[in-house]
């Protein structure tokens, strides 16, 4: 009981985290209730590497090293948008970054904060929308990462614009999502959810997948220049992901503030 009480005190005090605090009523809540509920039901599995979150754990080294190789995370102030249970947030912290993680999933944030008691990570987790944070703290971060999140929200262009507002002049914004084409439907929906059972059925809505041309357009409209794009491909033979020039399914995009 004492241990549980200490954990609860740490959760509430160390980061001023209050999941019951309402978001600014004047701020549009760019979230899908069904998506939030779906991930809430899986929240306790975030750090189980054999669970539905196994693919995230497997691609995390790829995205972490790609980001770090391009910007050098050490001593950077970094924002992880849609941080979930903190998989990427923690790994960026251990690369030497000063990390803030934000999400609208209350249970996921609880899991992320409690996991720090085990890992020793120090990430500032906040229950706040990226649009509200952009209004409150514009141009505050050296690096903004928004990974595997855009395909789960009603208005991804709004997320992109908010990310652009949050980064400092000369800073970088990273996105990752899923392309929209027959191959991505076959691999990311049919293959991953129904054949290989890598993800729960219904994890992805094909209509919400985003073509690189669409993401590039939103980035330019937000004042960002696209400097690089990389695919992440899965081999059912080796059962591993690797970086690739093939962006037909999963891909990452690096953007910088336009000068």
Return the pLDDT at 101.
99
Counting the structural domains of the chain, the total is 1
Would residue 75 count as lying in a domain?
yes
Tokens of 163: 């990310």
pLDDT in tens, 97-135: 999 999 999 999 999 999 999 999 999 999 999 999 999
Query: What's the distance, Cα to Cα, between the start and end of the chain in Å?
Result: 55
Return the pLDDT at 191.
81
Would residue 27 count as lying in a domain?
no
Return the pLDDT at 10.
44
Which residue reads 């985290």 in tokens? 17
Segment-wise mean pLDDT, segments of 10 residues, the chain, 259 residues: 46 44 55 72 83 89 98 99 97 99 96 96 98 98 98 96 98 98 90 77 86 98 98 88 96 93
- Boundaries of domain holding 216: 50-176+207-229+251-257
Would residue 246 count as lying in a domain?
no
Would residue 11 count as lying in a domain?
no
**pTM listed for this prediction:** 0.86
Would residue 3 count as lying in a domain?
no
Would residue 130 count as lying in a domain?
yes
Would residue 237 count as lying in a domain?
no
Dihedral (Cα; 138, 142, 147, 150), 10-degree rounding:
30
Would residue 170 count as lying in a domain?
yes
pLDDT in tens, 188-206: 888 887 887 777 777 788 9
Distances (CA, A) of 218 to 106, 135, 232, 234, 250: 28, 19, 21, 27, 18
Check which CATH number belongs to the domain holding 156 and give it.
3.40.50.150
């Amino acid at each position: 009981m004492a241990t549980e009480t200490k954990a609860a005190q740490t959760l509430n005090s160390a980061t001023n985290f209050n999941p019951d605090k309402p978001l600014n009523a004047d701020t549009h809540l760019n979230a899908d209730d069904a998506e939030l509920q779906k991930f809430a039901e899986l929240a306790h599995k975030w750090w189980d590497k054999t669970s539905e979150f196994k693919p995230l754990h497997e691609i995390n080294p790829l995205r972490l090293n790609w980001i770090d190789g391009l910007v050098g995370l050490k001593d950077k102030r970094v924002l992880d948008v849609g941080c979930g249970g903190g998989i990427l947030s923690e790994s960026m912290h251990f690369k030497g970054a000063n990390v803030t993680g934000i999400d609208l999933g209350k249970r996921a944030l609880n899991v992320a904060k409690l996991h720090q008691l085990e890992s020793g990570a120090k990430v500032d987790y906040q229950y706040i929308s990226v649009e509200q944070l952009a209004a409150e703290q514009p141009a505050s971060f050296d690096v903004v990462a928004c990974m595997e999140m855009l395909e789960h929200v009603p208005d991804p262009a709004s997320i992109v614009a908010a990310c652009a507002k949050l980064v400092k002049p000369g800073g970088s914004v990273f996105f990752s999502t899923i392309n929209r084409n027959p191959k991505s439907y076959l691999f990311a929906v049919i293959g991953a959810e129904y054949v290989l059972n890598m993800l729960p059925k219904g994890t992805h809505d094909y209509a919400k997948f985003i073509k690189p041309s669409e993401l590039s357009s939103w980035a330019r409209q937000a004042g960002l220049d696209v400097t690089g794009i990389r695919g992440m491909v899965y081999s059912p033979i080796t059962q591993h992901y690797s970086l690739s020039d093939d962006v037909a399914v999963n891909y990452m995009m690096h953007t910088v503030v336009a000068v």
